[in-house]
């Protein structure tokens, strides 16, 4: 019989005690948790909920941007980010690999569809990571490209669905609309943020608020059948409806493309507005850029219509004229000596753009010919510089308009010295923005009421369709009366219709246009102004129809590729004319009815009083020239019963001695009337309008005398003047030349 060792019994006893204690501890812990529901002072249910609870993001959609008629201008659209799974752990079935197994082949195939070289893709695919992305080249993949890549069945290549900003019209009011880009947030996610234009100004309104979903899942992330869900819906961004009309904007873009291609100017700006409401119907510039690809943006970061101010040139004369008419100091028939003017005895002289002027002319002719001297005199002698300065503020040239676009600049009015004040009257020295000119011009087009410009019509809740904001016309001043506005429009119409006017290129068949040309010099960084045939900003500010303007258009073209100064208005007119005409027709604005001018049917003046005849014609707007110092009329041309054309003169012969009239600027038609009535032998040289005559003004005329006149076309005269100016003539003491027409 074998005896048990005492030590074995003792060991067994110890083990029994130890396991017994462990059992009682486990039993105690079980009942403790059962009754208290806590572990380590923490609720067990909360621990379980935390372990199995999941949270997902419901991405909000950025609001869309539409034109005034609901045409899409910018919207979010589906896009995909390219991803490559590199970890072999993702493959459970070797026959169906879920990771990249052949980096070389995969790189070769992907290089056909994304903007990375094969070697760059191979380098990414051979990294020691779980998964990789391909930077900007792998983002915003279109559905079409995604489908093509998926058809290759490349193992490990997959896509993450995302959204991107889409601009379906390409280059279309790009600086006004702007663009939005994804920006990385602190938590590593990306959020679309507006960077320019309306996308930037209304970024808060366009940006939605992400929602979320809370749910319970198993260890593998699958939703538990009995799990509870809590959903906070996403709030999509609001939709913005612009005042821009897609059709009118397209007219603008097409015309600017044509001019850009043919004349290659350094810069161009064009704005189309409704003067009754302040709505901007079109706004474009060159250089421009493509919002989606950003191609060209390095050349055009600024919205030139809003963010830059420059010397406007003679379009500024519209507002000097308006002030003078409002103050009742503009007498269209009063004459003054053109050519040169000294504001003060010590001031540099103001020159007309053609240096020599046109002799003694009326202030109306000064407007038509765009005489700098005439407008300097109006500001100094008629209005007075202090009162003129008040009108610059009334027209709001010294503050931003408040249009819904970022970084708006304000005008810079140089108004310290007398010469600066005179120069401002015809648009030199002082700098203003194009949008300020549009706002000020609404007062002329809208019977004195100046309307704030805007580019947003309304903001609408994307989810409910409720209108959150509706823009209404806002009167921001009344610098002139309705009567003044009408008179100014009538005068500005003659800039286009008169043979003496500088705006003949802006005639539009069937419509009456009122407007003003501008030719502004460009400051030279070295001092003074740039010289050369194309170193100007050529512009036009016009409205139509004249009696009740429905559209207001401003066009400026800087340094077009032209071989002489006289051709600068051609590219401007090639934008203004088609845009204005096509837009009026698109808006169903009926052409003006051409009424017969019964008042221009001349009566028989033989034997009548000279004074009465002249007074009667003046009331009808007909210019008369009296030959002789008598009181009774002996003969007339045109003859009684004739209908005269606009701008034509009526020549009256009296019973007194006949003297030589000043025929500078006359048409050959009018010169021939004088020759016929006085019995002169007429000899002419050239075509166009008179620039020289052999007989001295005021000298007695006798039958049979020889009258010799030299004529020249306006284009030839402009070319000669430009050539003279380029040789240094017409400069003031600071090296500056006075602005053009």
Active site residues: 314
What is d(CA 238, CA 254) in angstroms, rounded to the nearest whole number?
31
Q: Which residues contact 328 (CB under 8 A, 6 or more apart)?
A: none
Q: Is 429 exposed, middle or buried (0-12, 13-18, 19+ CB in 10 A)?
A: buried
Q: In residues, how long is the chain?
A: 741
User: What tokens does 395 get?
Assistant: 């027209």
With vertex at residue 214, the alpha carbon angle to CA 212 and CA 215, rounded to the nearest 5 degrees, is 145
| Rounded distance between C-alpha atoms, residue 71 and residue 236, angstroms | 19
- Give φ, ψ of 181 to 5 degrees: -130, 155
Q: List for the chain the helix, strand, coil content (%; round to 5).
A: 35, 25, 40
Check if the beta carbon of residue 130 is closer than 8 Å to that of residue 100. Answer: no
| First and final C-alpha spacing in the chain | 138
A 10 A CB-CB count for 30 gives 10
Distance CA 606, CA 613 (A): 10
Q: DSSP readout, 336-383?
A: EE-SEE-SSTTSPPEE-TTSSBTBEEEHHHHHHTT-HHHHHHIIIIII
The DSSP symbol for 710 reads E
Residue 362 bridge partners (DSSP): 335
Q: What is the distance between the alpha carbons of residues 95 and 175, in angstroms, rounded to a whole number?
A: 54
User: Who contacts 699 (Cβ-Cβ below 8 Å, separation ≥6)?
Assistant: 659, 660
Dihedral sign computed on CA atoms, order 693, 695, 699, 703: negative
> Following DSSP, what letter does each residue of 15-26 receive, concatenated?
HHHHHHHHHHHH
Are β-strands 350-351 and 340-341 bridged in parallel, bridged antiparallel, or unpaired?
Answer: antiparallel
161: cis peptide before it, omega within 30°? Answer: no
Contact indicator for 591, 510 with CB cutoff of 8 Å: yes
3-state secondary structure of 278: coil
Q: Which residues contact 351 (CB under 8 A, 6 or more apart)?
A: 339, 340, 372, 373, 730, 732, 737, 738
CB burial readout 547-559, b (16+ within 10 A) else e: ebbbbbbbbbbbb
Q: How far apart are CA 285 and CA 242, in angstroms?
A: 18
Sign, CA dihedral 321-322-324-330, equals positive
Helices and strands (DSSP H and E) totals, the chain: 21, 31
Q: Positive or negative, the Cα torsion across 257, 263, 268, 274?
A: negative
């Amino acid at each position: 019989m074998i005896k048990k060792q005492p030590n074995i019994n003792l060991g067994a006893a110890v083990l029994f005690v130890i396991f017994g204690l462990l059992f009682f501890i486990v039993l105690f812990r079980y009942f403790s948790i059962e009754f208290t529901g806590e572990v380590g002072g923490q609720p067990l249910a909360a621990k379980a909920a935390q372990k199995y609870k999941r949270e997902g993001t419901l991405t909000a959609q950025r609001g869309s941007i539409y034109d005034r008629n609901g045409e899409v201008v910018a919207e979010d659209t589906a896009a995909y980010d390219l991803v490559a799974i590199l970890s072999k752990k993702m493959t459970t079935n070797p026959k169906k690999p879920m990771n990249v197994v052949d980096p070389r082949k995969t790189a070769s195939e992907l290089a056909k569809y994304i903007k990375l070289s094969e070697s760059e893709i191979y380098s990414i695919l051979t990294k020691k990571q779980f998964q990789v992305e391909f930077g900007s080249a792998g983002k915003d993949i279109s559905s079409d490209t995604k489908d093509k890549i998926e058809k290759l069945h490349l193992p490990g290549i997959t896509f993450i669905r995302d959204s991107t900003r889409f601009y379906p019209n390409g280059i279309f009011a790009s600086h006004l609309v702007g663009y939005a880009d994804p920006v990385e947030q602190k938590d590593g996610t990306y959020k679309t943020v507006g960077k320019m234009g309306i996308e930037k100004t209304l970024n808060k309104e366009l940006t939605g608020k992400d929602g979320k979903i809370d749910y319970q899942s198993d260890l593998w992330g699958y939703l538990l059948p009995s799990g509870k869900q809590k959903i906070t819906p996403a709030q999509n961004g609001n939709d913005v409806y612009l005042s821009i009309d897609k059709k009118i904007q397209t007219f603008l873009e097409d015309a600017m493309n044509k001019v850009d291609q043919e004349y290659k100017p350094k810069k161009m700006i064009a704005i189309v507005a409704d003067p009754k409401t302040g709505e901007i119907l079109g706004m474009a510039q060159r250089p421009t850029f493509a919002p989606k690809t950003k191609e060209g943006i390095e050349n055009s970061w600024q919205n030139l219509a809003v963010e830059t101010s420059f010397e406007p040139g003679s379009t500024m004369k519209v507002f000097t004229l308006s002030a003078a008419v409002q103050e009742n100091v503009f007498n269209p028939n009063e004459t003054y000596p053109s050519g040169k003017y000294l504001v003060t005895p010590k001031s540099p002289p103001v020159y007309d753009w053609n240096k020599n002027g046109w002799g003694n002319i009326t202030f109306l002719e000064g407007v038509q010919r765009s005489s700098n001297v005439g407008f300097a005199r109006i500001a100094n002698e008629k209005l007075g510089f202090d009162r003129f300065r008040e009108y610059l503020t009334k027209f709001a040239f010294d503050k931003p308009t408040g249009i819904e676009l970022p970084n708006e600049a304000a005008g810079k009015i140089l108004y310290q010295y007398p010469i600066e004040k005179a120069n401002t009257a015809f648009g030199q020295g002082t700098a203003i923005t194009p949008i300020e000119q549009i706002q000020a011009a609404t007062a002329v087009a809208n019977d004195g009421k100046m309307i704030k410009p805007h580019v947003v019509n309304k903001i609408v809740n994307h989810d409910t369709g409720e209108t959150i904001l509706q823009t209404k016309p806002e009167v921001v001043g009344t610098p002139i009366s309705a009567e003044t506005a009408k008179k100014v429009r009538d005068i500005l119409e003659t800039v286009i219709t008169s043979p003496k006017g500088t705006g003949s290129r802006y005639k539009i068949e069937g419509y009456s246009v009122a407007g003003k040309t501008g030719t502004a010099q460009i400051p030279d960084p070295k001092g003074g102004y740039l010289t050369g045939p194309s170193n100007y900003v050529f512009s036009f500010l016009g409205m139509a129809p004249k009696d009740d303007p429905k559209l207001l258009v401003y066009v400026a073209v800087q340094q077009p590729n032209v071989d002489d100064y006289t051709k600068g208005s051609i590219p401007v007119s090639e934008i203004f004319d088609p845009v204005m005409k096509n837009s009026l027709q698109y808006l169903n604005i009926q052409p003006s009815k051409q009424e017969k001018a019964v008042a221009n049917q001349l009566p028989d003046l033989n034997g009548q009083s000279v004074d009465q005849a002249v007074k009667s014609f003046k009331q009808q707007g007909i210019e008369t020239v009296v030959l002789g110092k008598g009181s009774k009329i002996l003969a007339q041309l045109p003859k009684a019963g004739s209908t005269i054309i606009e701008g034509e003169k009526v020549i009256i012969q009296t019973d007194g001695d006949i003297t030589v009239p000043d025929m500078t600027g006359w048409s050959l038609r009018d010169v021939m009337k004088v020759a016929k009535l006085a019995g002169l032998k007429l000899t002419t040289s050239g075509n166009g309008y008179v620039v020289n005559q052999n007989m001295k003004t005021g000298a007695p005329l006798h039958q049979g005398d020889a009258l010799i006149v030299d004529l020249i076309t306006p284009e030839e005269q402009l070319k000669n003047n430009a050539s003279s100016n380029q040789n240094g003539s017409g400069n003031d003491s600071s090296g500056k030349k006075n602005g053009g027409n």
